Structure 1
Amino acid sequence: MTDIVILGDSISAICAAHTIIDSDTKYNLHLVSEKAELGLSGEAPGILTSWPPCPSHWLSEMGSQKPNEESSAVRRSWLEKSLATQLSKRGCRIHLRTRAVSYKDNRVTIVGAGPLSSGNIHYDELLDLRDPDLGEIEWSGGVCLTEYAPEFGKQGNRSDGTTEVWWKNKENPTGFWIQQMNWVGDDPSTSLIDDVREGAKLADLTVDTIIQTNPSQ
């Protein structure tokens, strides 16, 4: 049995965990997050090229936020919550409000409010996805009713009748915003699918390493 620890709570980290489960590797899988819950807080771009952006069995119920045939965006925090809920159901042990203070000699030292509170988690493979490289471009974002969507920025329509819009700070527009956001990254129109693919790619590399080290896995 291989012990795998993922540090971080980004959508890439969560998708990496799902990919490892799909690999049929014999594992004990842990995900460590400093947050009190995964998803439903903060917003990053959720613009879609197609739905779903990942295998459908990675997702739990999304209610009114589930995209329909006309949707070109999803509320990203709800997507993260859906992915995390399903991840727990699939057997990943998620440690919330838990900080990894160090890792060496195949052990992660943690401090937090989770079931372990503090102590060590053994790992054979570790993915540290806490500080992803987001790029250097600063974007402003806003959510408005679709009927009031402006004619600028990179946009996606959600299933709940709202539109998310992203623009570079220098444009500084006004509008009928329900919510305003900030994000740093290269391109909000590809951010979601890029992050999903990055998590899957890193997980595949980890699984390949496990197989090469332990051919019986």
Structure 2
Amino acid sequence: MSRILCIGGSIANLITAHHMSSKHEVTLIDVHAEIGMPCSHPGFILELDLLKPYMTEEQMEFLKPHSNEPGWGLRSEWLNKLLALNVAEQGVNIHTRTRITSIEKKDEEFLVSFQGAGPTSKSNLVFDNIIDASTHVPPAPGALQHTFEETLPLLSPDFGVRTEWFGGTTLTTDCIELPEACWRFDRSGGLSEVWMEGTASWAPQHGWIEQISSPLSFNASQRTIDAQITEGKRLFEVVT
């Protein structure tokens, strides 16, 4: 049984943790108070059935997936929370509000120092492998970022070239006419997500309900939840 560390509660990392939990000792560390908060990923999935291995029927209903043409829209932060709940029940050790202060490579192992979790404010753990998705979740406020060498031989999710995107949630009735550069999909409750590369070049009549900025893939197919699931499974296969 290997000791695996997943840094960052991204959808891909949670999928990896799900598959690894049955055969390995898995720890997930995130700088935020809650997994999935703040939101960082579009809630769009093409093949809804891809979620079934990771969700109960009740959880699928709770997500309230809304049919689009094509695909489905849902709240990605709810998906993150449910995935985190499920992997925790499978035995994954989740530490939130936790910042990694150093990672040292020693032979075939990694010595990881972190602050904010465990019986004391500072702790050390040893891992056989690390999957770093720290750049795939929103940065923490202030000086709460992880600090470790970028040159370390860590595995990471790969969605190709990424650029900064603006994402906002608004009323679907405000989205009848959008600039061609906007990517829109609808969710339940009369809401829609609108994403634009770079800064916001359009604003809804009644304003934004929520808005975020997040690095997303240049490739449209890699901006989906489908791609997150596929990448999570790939990372599991690489490690095992």
- TM category, shorter: 0.7 to 0.9
| Alignment partner of 1:205 is 2:238 | yes
Residue number in structure 2 paired with 1:213: none
Cα distance in 2 between the residues matched to 1:147 and 1:75: 18
Residue number in structure 2 paired with 1:129: 133
Contact 1:19–1:204, Cα closer than 8 Å, also in 2? no
Report the CA distance between 1:80 and its aligned residue: 0.7
- Residues 133-152 of structure 1: pairs in structure 2 closer than 5 A: 135-152=161-178
Q: Say how many residue pairs are matched.
A: 204
Residue number in structure 1 paired with 2:117: 113
Aligned residue among 154, 158, 172 for 2:183: 154
Task: Note the alpha carbon deviations across 1:113-146, whole angstroms, 9 max, x for none.
Answer: 3445322212222222223567443322222222
Residue number in structure 1 paired with 2:31: 34
State percent identity of aligned pairs: 29
1:42 counterpart SS class: coil
Cα distance in 2 between the residues matched to 1:140 and 1:15: 25
**Unaligned runs of at least 5 residues, structure 1:** 208-217
Residue number in structure 1 paired with 2:196: 167
Cα distance in 2 between the residues matched to 1:124 and 1:137: 32
Residue number in structure 1 paired with 2:146: none
TM value normalised by structure 1: 0.80
| Alignment partner of 1:49 is 2:46 | yes
Contact 1:96–1:114, Cα closer than 8 Å, also in 2? no
- Letter of the aligned partner of 2:63 in structure 1? Q
Residue number in structure 2 paired with 1:16: 16
- Letter of the aligned partner of 2:235 in structure 1? L
Contact 2:117–2:123, Cα closer than 8 Å, also in 1? no
Task: Note the alpha carbon deviations across 1:50-88, whole angstroms, 9 max, x for none.
Answer: 214434334673665331556721111111111111111
Cα distance in 1 between the residues matched to 2:5 and 2:176: 44
CA RMSD of aligned residues (A): 2.7
Residue number in structure 2 paired with 1:195: 228
Cα distance in 2 between the residues matched to 1:72 and 1:36: 28
TM value normalised by structure 2: 0.73
- Residues 38-77 of structure 1: pairs in structure 2 closer than 5 A: 38-58=35-55, 61=59, 64-68=62-66, 72-77=72-77
Residue number in structure 2 paired with 1:80: 80
Choose 102-111 or 162-171, whichever is displaced more.
Answer: 162-171
Cα distance in 2 between the residues matched to 1:128 and 1:84: 17
Contact 2:54–2:83, Cα closer than 8 Å, also in 1? no
Cα distance in 2 between the residues matched to 1:171 and 1:91: 41
